[in-house]
Chain A
Amino acid sequence: MVLFMLNVSKSPWLLHYDGSSCNGCDIEVLACLTPIYDVERFGVINTGNPKHADIFLITGGINKQNEPVVRQIYEQMPNPKVVVAVGICACNGGIFKECYNILGGVDTVLPVDIYVPGCAARPEAIIDGVVKAVALLDEKRRVRKEEARQ
């Protein structure tokens, strides 16, 4: 019972960052907080502080300007952490892939754990992605503990 309560998955706090998104996916992410979808019932809180967050939810592609910013936010997050790329632009650059400024999706900068495609990604799909990310968090914490023991 006590071990059950110690899971990171019971309290996943997420950080929502807009890379270079058109804001369509951002609006859908915020829609997840509204009464219709209500992710807070899973204990998810949208915190704006990387030092408090477990899940890094990125929308939009990566360009030269935001590449160091995204990397710095990721490094500020304490372990265990997961990265969720929301929307097709965050997955592989989307319809902006051929643009001169876009380097590609988030995986050009960070190790992405969950990809949520869509344009804009539906709240149901985003919640699905977050739930999968949360299960991964538990796995990462378990691996971290075993490595600490060795």
Chain B
Amino acid sequence: MWSIISVALYLILGPVVGGLLAGFDRKISARLQGRQGPPLLQPFYDLFKLFSKQSVVVNNVQDFLVCGFLVFIVFTGGLFFSGGDLLLVFFALTLAGIFFMMSACSANSPYSAMGAQRELMQMMAYEPMVLLTAIGFYKSTGSFAVSDIIHSSVSNIAYLPGIFIGFLFILAIKFRKSPFDLSTSHHAHQEMVKGLTTELSGNILALVELSHWYENAFLLGVVGLFIINSNWWSFLIAVPVCIIAYFMEILVDNTFPRVKWEVMLKSTWLVTLVAGVINLMILSFIK
């Protein structure tokens, strides 16, 4: 019963939360740069505007692939918030990412193609850490199911501090923020025109925005999963932790420049190795 309510809440509130996160991101970034910044609801205005624009469709496949991206992101978040298997959740997330990357490959544009290649490098960089996160939760609670993890007696961050740090590190890649916004980034930070989203316009681009909002809401949910335990007041601690994590991402976004893919790959794998693997090894001794 609760799982149906959670999924329904995610379906309806997910884009609202994601859009507000994007709005806060732009406002806080502007204030950090000494500017006024757009209104908080600006991402929603952007979304509605994109829905009202003409869609310049490049080929038949691209729209289908972007819709696949949206469907699998919603499936990922829905499965997660209904208490499903965490490993399946992360695999669905990867599949959604593949759909997005393929929509860029399908366009005959050098910018899209380069963006797709960089997106593959990004996936190669963060996948080990994501899988280690799922394995860490399994080792710490004995189950992959989110519904079991949220009922553990102690917050899992006590057993998984290294994995928590590693997950926050790769969150910069998933949120598409500097220093790891190689394949496509927010609006003004372009490099190869817009990378992955170069050939998308109108309502298809709006669907990509929507998918990113669902994805961000889901990712913050995973951050909260580290904190939530069987006590009801752990929710009250998880929400500020998620907000602080998101604020740190905004701060890092404004402080660091974009790096080359070699630096991203090496630094991410180094953090995965040091923080993630050592955490797992210590956990194997304890449990």
| Residues of chain A in range 23-77 having any CB-CB distance to chain B below 8 Å | 33, 35, 38, 40-43, 45-49, 51-52, 54, 76
Contact residues of B between 147 and 196, Cβ < 8 Å to A: 187-188, 190, 193-194
A62 to B41, CA, bound (A): 39
Q: Does B56 lie within 8 Å of A11, measured CB to CB?
A: no
Given A48-B193, A78-B55, A43-B35 contact (CB < 8 Å): no
Query: Which A residue's beta carbon lies closest to that of B198?
Result: A49
B199 touches A51 (CB 8 A): yes
- Residue A10 is within 8 A (CB to CB) of chain B in the complex: yes
Number of CB contacts from chain A to chain B under 8 A: 87
Are B30 and A40 in contact, with the CB atoms below 8 A?
Answer: yes
Q: How far is the CB of A55 from chain B (nearest CB, A)?
A: 12
- Give which listed residue, A5, A13, A45, A79, contacts B48 with CB less than 8 A: A5
Interface contact B188-A80, CB-CB below 8 Å: no
Our pick among A10, A45, A51, A80 for the contact of B200 (Cβ within 8 Å) is: A51
CA distance A45 to B46 in the complex (A): 10
CB pair B35–A41 under 8 Å, yes or no, is yes
Please tell me if the beta carbons of A78 and B37 are within 8 angstroms of each other in the complex: no
- The size of the chain A interface, using a CB distance under 8 A, is 27
Whether A6 lies near B48 (C-beta < 8 A) is yes
Q: Are B187 and A13 in contact, with the CB atoms below 8 A?
A: yes
What residues of chain A lie closer than 8 Å to B45, measured between beta carbons? Answer: 5, 7, 10-11, 43
With a cutoff of 8 Å between Cβ atoms, the chain A residues found around residue B55 in the complex are: 78
Complex Cα gap A33–B51 (Å): 26
- Please list the residues of chain B having a beta carbon within 8 angstroms of any beta carbon in chain A: 26, 30, 33-39, 41-42, 44-46, 48-49, 51-56, 187-188, 190, 193-194, 197-202, 205
6 A-B residue pairs with CB within 8 Å:
A6-B52, A10-B48, A11-B46, A33-B188, A38-B35, A40-B26
A residues neighboring B (CB under 8 Å): 5-8, 10-11, 13, 33, 35, 38, 40-43, 45-49, 51-52, 54, 76, 78-80, 141
Known: A43-B39, A49-B193. 19 other contacts (CB 8 A): A6-B52, A10-B49, A11-B49, A35-B33, A41-B30, A41-B38, A41-B39, A43-B45, A46-B188, A47-B188, A49-B194, A49-B197, A51-B198, A78-B53, A78-B54, A78-B56, A78-B202, A79-B53, A80-B53
